[in-house]
Structure 1
Amino acid sequence: MSETEHRPSNFIRQIIDKDLAEGKHTSVHTRFPPEPNGFLHIGHAKSIVLNFGIAEDYKGTCNLRFDDTNPLKEKVDYVESIKRDVAWLGYQWEGTPKYSSGYFEELHGFAVELIEKGLAYVDFSDQDTMREMRGTLKEPGTNSPYRDTSVEENLDLFKRMTAGEFKDGECCLRAKIDMSSPFMCMRDPVIYRVRHVHHHQTGDKWCVYPMYDFTHCISDALEGITHSLCTLEFQDNRRLYDWVLDNISIDCHPQQIEFSRLNLQYTVMSKRIINNLVEEGKVSGWDDPRVSSIAGLRRRGYTPASIREFCRRIGVTKMDNQVEMGMLEACIRDDLNENAPRAMAVMDPIKLVIENYPEGQQELLDAPNHPNNPDMGSRQVTFSREVYIEREDFRESANKKFKRLVLDKEVRLRNGYVVKAERCDVDSDGQVTTVYCTYDPDTLGKDPADGRKVKGVIHWVSADTAKEAEFRIYDRLFRVANPAAEDDLFAALNPESLVIKQGFVEANLAAAEVEKPYQFERLGYYVLDSDAEKEGRLIFNQTVGLRDSWAKIEQQGD
């Protein structure tokens, strides 16, 4: 099978294949152009995987270019976070990162060229008046009274704009296209605005800044981009993209191709909304593990491979749709099931006292790091007279379906002995505090010698050596599948999106590393949080449960 047959097929790749076959291009050059006004989210990951993945598959190149034309909302911190996220996902951009601000001289020159051709003019109308003049989807717009200003006067006015003679919002430069166009973006769009604000790359050199639609196409052309891939909301804007390039003196004319953006259930795909959640204290920051940001997913324990796989599974189409959160969670489960070592933790502990085990004695038991992968080796866990088990794993009485520990019944401690519950202590609230057991010393690593069957297996940690730990159990941030459609977004937040528990982990996890995943046996997949290093204590984030519990909930609601 040839190399090209291994590539995933979609309409974009079919266009590229045709362009290469017909000799329109001899190589492929893509770009990923984020605006540094927030952290990247899972929707950007789809674009990253698409643009960098196509460049890799076609042995082409992909630029990382910051669309930094709005310094009011941009920060260097966001620039750095974007670099980290792209690199963490496993991609390397061509050369050094590019900036739209690096082309400000050229962009200004092209704006002057449009004025000289009678295709741009300076407009002093205020925003409300301009909005009225644009018309509606059913009614054409009306010409601005400044539309027929002479070329010479427009050149002088634009020069004065650039020199800082006008206040913010006092005037702007508009392209002179067609106020009766059925496409709103072609009704004399603004291409330059006045903003007296410091820029994180160019300092105070400029007080006029180009608009995105003017900047983007020219930046693509200057960089020799062959295929400019963007989401469907820019479909109409392709007409402006082409108009600008058709009317300036530039040799390269990239092809803009639109695909559907990612809409993921139970979360939001908007940097503006995420920023509101951060500013209102509804989440702890852009990297809160409940947020759909790449930094948040990383902190929660998602791996680059799982996110890349998710982007491949959802595919690339022109159809807008909502993707189930379960699909993203399935990708991380598949990854961690194969690659995460096992460990034991107890999150709601009660003490188990093994009365016939010698006091003060400890022994080391072998435990495999992965049940199906001997190459991952094994570890030793301490066994002692007192251990902790999960509260839900013990009942004073239960029916035959309960396969865990019951008074006068037996259960196996994972990788250890068979124990039998004899009696328990209960506090004034009726809560069990301690369970007293006996153990069979002949059952380590084998079935009981007399042939009796023990069906239940529970996890545990030694009370002598276990380490205290905090467990942050994360759920979906919103209670509803499409929170963006809610009138009150904050009211749709899930009050159970974060539950914190205090418990114990096996002693080996004292050496746990941030971003190294573990499967806590019978509980789910967890990762050490970055707060652990700052606070000097063990804090584990739940990445995902062992099963999709939401699938059952949703089926019950149908």
Structure 2
Amino acid sequence: MSKPTPNHFIRSIAKNDLANGKHEYIYTRFPPEPNGYLHLGHAKSICLNFGLAQDLGGKCNLRFDDTNPEKENVEFVESIRDTVEWLGFEWSKLCYASDYYDHLYNYALELIDKGLAYVDELNPEQMREYRGALTEPGKDSPFRDRSIADNRDLFERMRAGEFAEGEYTLRAKIDMSAPNIVMRDPILYRIRYAHHYRAGDRWCIYPMYDFTHCISDALEGITHSLCTLEFQDNRELYDWILSNITLEENLVGERGKLMPKQIEFGRSNLEYTMASKRKLIQLVNEGHVDGWDDPRLTTLVGLRRRGYTPESIRDFCAEIGVTKRDSTIDMAVLENAIRHNLEASAKRVFGVLDPLKLIITNYPEDQTEFFTVKNHPKDDSMGTRDLPFGREIYIERDDFMLEPPAKFFRLGPGREVRLRYGYAVTCNDVIYDADGNVSELHCSYDPLTAKGQTPDGRKIKGIIHWVSAAQAVDAEVRVYDRLFTEPNPAGADDFIALLNPESLRVYPHAKLEPSVLNADTQDRFQFERVGYFCFDSEDHRADNVVMNRTVSLRDTWAKMGANKK
């Protein structure tokens, strides 16, 4: 079960609006652009918009802001829909900005007829020059005072496809000396000769986001339009547009003519990750990661493939909260969310990533016995499994050292350790291959030490995990770590230089206990003493076991940081 939704300033505003009768119910929307895959920042917005409506008995729409035809396609639409559903939310209505193209066009004509919009011929460079700066006012375009009739004629001809891209734009006629630069005659429409994945070739002019978004909100009856802080200056334009168009009663949404209220909240930037779409595209296109669903990325498809659960993402969003300021979040907050979730729900199994064969020389060659062990040490409802044991087993190579230091409590020449759930073994002989590498350990076991017993009272400090060689399942195991070595790669001149060379380690010859073959492909596991793992959703098959590490058992980066101090 996910954490309860915490109170925050937006929730307080919404509850107050209900209490004082301003709204009968809350109506929000999540408005992604269908031009890429959602990332963790979008998850915060999804949980905020859908969660607020859910908690307060309201409604929430999923609306695609599809006004940029060159970059949008059905693949992204389907991925976004799937991701929202995966996170556990249902939309009241599925909407598209392109649903409103006819209405938007008519509202643009209305602004022209009111003398509040004009067709401009300035190119982008000239427009920037005329706009001015924060410390100086802009200046009027030489085309600003065209007659209403000329503006309407030109705009209709723009729609008819008589002009080239960039030749004309439609701009709002507000105030070129406004302190808020957003209000200095912003562009409302531009010419684009591009096929739209839904509208086809019907349109060659497309509305800008600022013009589209507020009208879409009003037409859908949205009460609270939630967005991040970079849109704070755009709120004035949002209100200006809605105040200067006529929303006919037969067109507006369920909330009637009561205008939506834009409220901004702070972004939450996660350390050691990248959220810039441009830089993510570079990582993908240059092959630094294996596609948009690479488990090292914090795209939601990547986190899902890595083994993050919807509950853990929702818990993370609840933990970081909603504030009025941008914030930077420690990666440990995200990792702890999935650890907490999987600690309670993941089945325990044995997995040896880098196997070293151990032969118990005094154990019968033809004998196999089974140890019945719990699938979860604290949850009996998860049942038990039978763990096979025989003369030959695999242990983790790191659990053996030729010259172990004093505080190394695992296996070494002449040393004794306990095999978890099994016997105590002592290393008697070390076998080397032709290159001088350790290839086998020959050990003896004490049959009186079964099931953790030590009849003579001797202390055995070391406990290691293992897998029976005869029944071992061959697997490829991928251990993922943080993609970057520095907390703020986005701020670096060369963020590629900060890529972590250890962000992916592949163990092609891992050995797993046989119970994993009976598991569901959606199951998560704790490899005891190693970490939390899941089946890879792309490459895993019944005859080709591939598993991904979701997260380590504890925060190893915190330990590294402590050692540096």
Matched residue type, 1:67: D
Q: Determine whether 1:387 maps to 2:393.
A: yes
- Counting only pairs closer than 5 Å after superposition, residues 414-453 of structure 1 correspond to structure 2 as 414-453=420-459
User: Deviation at 1:92?
Assistant: 0.5
Q: 1:27 aligns with which of 25, 28, 35?
A: 25
Q: What SS class does the counterpart of residue 406 from structure 1 fall into?
A: coil
- The answer for unaligned runs of 5 or more in structure 1 is 1-5
Q: 1:210 aligns with which of 202, 207, 210?
A: 207
User: Deviation at 1:534?
Assistant: 5.8
User: Deviation at 1:511?
Assistant: 3.5
User: Deviation at 1:162?
Assistant: 0.7
How far does the alpha carbon of each residue in 1:485-534 deviate from its partner, in whole angstroms, 9 at most, with x for none?
11112112112111111221111122444342100010001111023336
Please give the alpha-carbon distance, in whole angstroms, between the structure 2 residues aligned to 1:397 and 1:484.
43
- Counting only pairs closer than 5 Å after superposition, residues 157-176 of structure 1 correspond to structure 2 as 157-176=154-173
Superposition RMSD in Å: 1.4
User: Deviation at 1:280?
Assistant: 1.4
Q: Contact 1:298–1:515 (CA<8 Å) still a contact in 2?
A: no
Matched residue type, 1:44: H
User: Deviation at 1:259?
Assistant: 0.2
- The answer for unaligned runs of 5 or more in structure 2 is 248-256
- Counting only pairs closer than 5 Å after superposition, residues 30-69 of structure 1 correspond to structure 2 as 30-69=28-67
Bigger drift between 390-399 and 152-161 goes to 390-399
Q: What SS class does the counterpart of residue 133 from structure 2 fall into?
A: coil
Matched residue type, 1:392: D
Q: Determine whether 1:152 maps to 2:149.
A: yes
Q: 2:557 aligns with which of 535, 542, 550?
A: 550
Matched residue type, 1:295: V
Q: 2:379 aligns with which of 373, 376, 385?
A: 373
Against the structure 1 CA distance between its residues 535 and 358, is the aligned structure 2 distance closer, same or farther, given a 3 Å change threshold?
closer
- Identity of matched residues, %: 56
- In the alignment, which residue of structure 2 is the partner of 1:531? 538
TM-score where L is the length of structure 1: 0.97
User: Deviation at 1:123?
Assistant: 0.7
- In the alignment, which residue of structure 2 is the partner of 1:11? 9
- In the alignment, which residue of structure 2 is the partner of 1:90? 88
Please give the alpha-carbon distance, in whole angstroms, between the structure 2 residues aligned to 1:239 and 1:148.
23
- In the alignment, which residue of structure 1 is the partner of 2:244? 247
- In the alignment, which residue of structure 1 is the partner of 2:254? none
- In the alignment, which residue of structure 1 is the partner of 2:129? 132
How far does the alpha carbon of each residue in 1:340-364 deviate from its partner, in whole angstroms, 9 at most, with x for none?
0101111111110011111122122
How far does the alpha carbon of each residue in 1:109-143 deviate from its partner, in whole angstroms, 9 at most, with x for none?
10010000000011111111111111111111110
Q: Contact 1:349–1:391 (CA<8 Å) still a contact in 2?
A: yes
Please give the alpha-carbon distance, in whole angstroms, between the structure 2 residues aligned to 1:156 and 1:377.
76
User: Deviation at 1:442?
Assistant: 2.5
Please give the alpha-carbon distance, in whole angstroms, between the structure 1 residues aligned to 2:191 and 2:61.
29
Against the structure 1 CA distance between its residues 266 and 536, is the aligned structure 2 distance closer, same or farther, given a 3 Å change threshold?
same
Q: 2:517 aligns with which of 506, 510, 525?
A: 510
- In the alignment, which residue of structure 2 is the partner of 1:520? 527
Q: Contact 2:540–2:547 (CA<8 Å) still a contact in 1?
A: no
Matched residue type, 2:99: G
How far does the alpha carbon of each residue in 1:526-552 deviate from its partner, in whole angstroms, 9 at most, with x for none?
111023336941111111101101112
- In the alignment, which residue of structure 1 is the partner of 2:104? 107
Q: Contact 1:405–1:421 (CA<8 Å) still a contact in 2?
A: yes
Q: What SS class does the counterpart of residue 55 from structure 1 fall into?
A: helix
Matched residue type, 1:539: V
Matched residue type, 2:512: V
- Counting only pairs closer than 5 Å after superposition, residues 296-311 of structure 1 correspond to structure 2 as 296-311=302-317
- In the alignment, which residue of structure 2 is the partner of 1:3? none
- In the alignment, which residue of structure 2 is the partner of 1:238? 235
Q: Contact 1:447–1:453 (CA<8 Å) still a contact in 2?
A: no
Residue-pair matches, total: 552
Matched residue type, 1:136: A
Please give the alpha-carbon distance, in whole angstroms, between the structure 2 residues aligned to 1:379 and 1:275.
45
- In the alignment, which residue of structure 1 is the partner of 2:411? 405
Q: Contact 1:39–1:271 (CA<8 Å) still a contact in 2?
A: no
Q: 2:325 aligns with which of 319, 325, 329?
A: 319
Q: What SS class does the counterpart of residue 405 from structure 1 fall into?
A: coil
Please give the alpha-carbon distance, in whole angstroms, between the structure 2 residues aligned to 1:532 and 1:484.
31
User: Deviation at 1:449?
Assistant: 1.9
- In the alignment, which residue of structure 1 is the partner of 2:196? 199
Against the structure 1 CA distance between its residues 446 and 534, is the aligned structure 2 distance closer, same or farther, given a 3 Å change threshold?
closer
Against the structure 1 CA distance between its residues 541 and 7, is the aligned structure 2 distance closer, same or farther, given a 3 Å change threshold?
closer
Runs in 1 of length 4+ with deviation above 4 angstroms?
A: none
Please give the alpha-carbon distance, in whole angstroms, between the structure 2 residues aligned to 1:100 and 1:323.
33
Please give the alpha-carbon distance, in whole angstroms, between the structure 2 residues aligned to 1:12 and 1:453.
58
Please give the alpha-carbon distance, in whole angstroms, between the structure 2 residues aligned to 1:48 and 1:182.
33
Bigger drift between 518-527 and 434-443 goes to 434-443
How far does the alpha carbon of each residue in 1:289-311 deviate from its partner, in whole angstroms, 9 at most, with x for none?
01110000000011111110010
